[in-house]
């Protein structure tokens, strides 16, 4: 299963990095959603990399139970990012929907290859749930100040968006505690390809672009201000109980 790596051109080694390293992903199409707006959003963010004070790495993931999470795990190990941010679409989203919890559960829904998950649990023996480590309250507040709808959600579904968030949080736990990246997932509305040219909507393509750039800029500024890249403690919290 292929994937697109559209990394920025101004990369730095981990030992000499002076800016936060961000890994940002979107998804390709999946059954019922032939056009996934998170893919062109990530391509747009890559084109705007010079305006974001970070070393930006972007990838478009296949909506595949095995390959998508495996690619993210590989990139986390390779890049050692300071933050991992996933964008996906949801018909329930009415703005920027920040997912707060990932569940160790998989719905019996096929992926882009027509294959179902390999079992009920995404990771056998893993905790029932894990919490996003993004500064969600701050990011959502900034978006609302900019006139954009933003809110927190406690249910990322049980499909690949949830699986990707859970997998990334788990991979963050495997890194050194002083280098654990912040991890989060944001759902955006499932805009159609035609709507990208519609400027009359209350929350459309322009708002998605503007909000995503604001999120990355604020996240990069937060990382720099907290000196997150030079000696951070792991912010991950594993919830071992039921929710």
99 part of the active site: yes
pLDDT at 12 over 50: no
Q: How confident is the model at residue 241 (pLDDT cuts 50, 70, 90)?
A: very low
Q: How confident is the model at residue 177 (pLDDT cuts 50, 70, 90)?
A: low
pLDDT at 15 over 60: no
When comparing pLDDT for 227 and 156, which is higher? 156
* Rounded Cα gap, residues 70 and 60, in angstroms: 13
Beta bridge partner(s), residue 186: 87, 98
pLDDT at 10 over 70: no
228 part of the active site: no
Q: Which of 99, 171, 207, 214 is catalytic?
A: 99
Maximum separation of any 2 CA atoms in the chain, in Å: 48
Mean pLDDT for all residues in the chain:
86
When comparing pLDDT for 206 and 197, which is higher? 206
* Rounded Cα gap, residues 205 and 191, in angstroms: 8
Q: How confident is the model at residue 47 (pLDDT cuts 50, 70, 90)?
A: very high
pLDDT at 29 over 50: yes
Residue 120's SS3 state is: coil
pLDDT at 1 over 50: no
Please state the pTM of the whole predicted model: 0.85
Residue 238's SS3 state is: strand
pLDDT at 240 over 50: no
Q: What is the pLDDT of residues 112-169, one digit of tens each?
A: 989 999 889 888 889 999 999 999 999 999 999 999 999 999 999 999 999 999 999 9
Tell me what pLDDT residue 118 has: 87
Q: How confident is the model at residue 85 (pLDDT cuts 50, 70, 90)?
A: very high
Q: Which of 64, 86, 170, 187 is catalytic?
A: 187
106 part of the active site: no
Tell me what pLDDT residue 227 has: 67
Residue 172's SS3 state is: helix
Tell me what pLDDT residue 198 has: 77
Q: Which domains does the chain have, with CATH numbers?
A: 4-239 (3.40.630.20)
Tell me what pLDDT residue 233 has: 41
Distances (CA, A) of 219 to 8, 21, 22, 143: 17, 11, 9, 12
Q: Which of 86, 161, 170, 171 is catalytic?
A: 161
pLDDT at 189 over 60: yes
Q: What are phi and psi of 147, to 5 degrees?
A: 80, 20
* Rounded Cα gap, residues 88 and 60, in angstroms: 10
* Rounded Cα gap, residues 159 and 143, in angstroms: 26
Tell me what pLDDT residue 234 has: 40
Q: Are 148 and 96 in contact (CB under 8 A)?
A: yes
């Amino acid at each position: 299963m292929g994937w697109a790596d559209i990394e920025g051109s101004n990369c730095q080694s981990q030992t000499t990095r002076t800016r936060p390293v961000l890994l940002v992903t979107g998804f390709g199409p999946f059954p019922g959603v032939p056009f996934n707006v998170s893919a062109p959003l990530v391509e747009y963010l890559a084109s705007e990399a010079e305006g974001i004070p970070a070393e930006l790495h972007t990838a478009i993931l296949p909506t595949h139970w095995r390959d998508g999470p495996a690619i993210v795990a590989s990139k986390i190990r390779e890049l050692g990012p300071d933050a991992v941010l996933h964008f996906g679409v949801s018909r329930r989203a009415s703005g920027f929907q920040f997912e707060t919890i990932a569940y160790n559960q998989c719905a019996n829904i096929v992926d882009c290859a027509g294959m179902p998950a390999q079992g009920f649990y995404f990771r056998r023996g893993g905790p029932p749930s894990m919490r996003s480590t993004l500064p969600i309250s701050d990011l959502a507040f900034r978006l609302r100040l900019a006139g954009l709808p933003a809110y927190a959600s406690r249910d990322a579904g049980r499909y690949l968006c949830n699986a990707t968030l859970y997998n990334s949080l788990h991979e963050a736990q495997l890194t050194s505690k002083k280098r654990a990246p912040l991890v989060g997932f944001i759902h955006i509305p499932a805009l159609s390809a035609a709507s990208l040219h519609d400027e009359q909507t209350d929350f459309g393509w322009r708002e998605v672009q503007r909000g995503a750039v604001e999120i990355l800029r604020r996240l990069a500024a937060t990382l720099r201000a907290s000196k997150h890249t030079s000696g951070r403690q792991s912010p991950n919290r594993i919830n071992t109980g039921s929710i």
